[in-house]
A and B are shown apart, each in its own frame.
Chain A
């Protein structure tokens, strides 16, 4: 019974492959559009890294929300599937977070003159990165699958709640960053359409990639779990 149900989720389905390939194609198209977009008024061609940096940072925070949701779902429903998806979102999110930090640093050097600055979004992302590294380490340290799932869910829930608090605390502490491209609180858009459209294409492509990668990772995890049970 248990085996049959885990076999079902461990099948590599067409949907996952479709999402992944659409994401890869979309990322290619987005890259082309970003490279042909007009240069920024003040920053010139350097600003094009923004087409990679913003979607990556967006993925990182999407991962944090998804991990929170699936972790709560696991604690309530106790389905191993939720735990596997939560772990997958954290792992994929960790990669995007590292890339966002890296592209951010590469961008900061020519524009701000330094690789690192104690800016709220940057610092919050770094803190979140440390929390998720802890998440992965905890998963590696606990062998019992149920105990591991519960502990991981606890870490993910506490960590995701921390995001707004650490953001506010660092923001009061110190500030300097590009204004947000899309202000979520007022819905105001601060970017010209010629740059906005490629960015939205990139955003969509990266979101598809994220979903595809998470699905792929949970399928692999399901297969691993099924093998351990046999």
Chain B
């Protein structure tokens, strides 16, 4: 349910970008998804594939998902560690004074568009 909501947001953004760039067809969208962004990649993909069937400019547009690993920095010992394994507690010194450096991203990285040659018929 959550993934469907964010898919709608993403499609809206891409439609706006397409309109601004006078693009009539978007063939693929690449998103960057942090490991702890709360969006599950395979569910996002499923929702995406369902939602783009109803689109015009984004009709049957492919989705490419790049995963960004989650990394946390410890303020006390200044070391970085993988967030998913250790959570908020630093595995080196046990401090809770830590914050996420990367891993909650949810970005549209790029879109691939098709410009029809002049005079060609829309398919």
Are A and B physically bound partners? no
Using a CB–CB distance below 8 Å, which chain B residues touch chain A? none
